[in-house]
Amino acid sequence: MKIWVDADACPGVIKEIIFKAANRTKVHTTLVANHAMRVPPSEYIQFINVPSGFDVADDEIVKRIEQNDLLISSDIPLSDEAIEKGAVVLSPRGELLTKENIRARLNMRDFLDTLRSSGVDTGGQAAMNQGDRQQFANELDKILSRHLRNAK
């Protein structure tokens, strides 16, 4: 298992949780973004800086992700592609995206896009709070614990 992070929109507090988990569990983790960012020095954490452009980072992740890898992303179309390749997907808010729920998320995303393009203010996601961070940390821990148990 490798962890892939769609790092362009991933909140800093979530990245910190990921860094600690990667080092604790010794799971190789790669952040992919189209702008430079600092990652802590670690043999388990790397950063891939891709050129700017629409979906360039997403395309790089899809090209490299493999079955049973973990993707951390809030990008629904990217999550759908990763799930199709057999990856596990976790949103930065701790929601596990699966074959069973990704279609509904894609439909809702498309519906909200249609509303926005017709001038309707759909608001946005609420600011990330402590409960969201805790939910993410708990789900990440469950996924990594299951991986470590199965690797034995």
Q: pLDDT averaged over consecutive 10-residue blocks of the chain (152 residues)?
A: 95 97 98 95 97 94 97 94 96 93 71 74 77 97 94 76
Structural domain harbouring 26: 3-151
Q: What pLDDT is stored for residue 111 in this prediction?
A: 66
Q: How many domains does the chain have?
A: 1
Kindly give, in sequence order, each residue whose CB lies less than 8 Å from that of residue 109, ignoring residues fewer than 6 positions away: 76, 77
pLDDT at 56: 95
The pTM of this model reads 0.87
Q: Give the CATH number for residue 44.
A: 3.40.50
d(CA 23, CA 39): 12
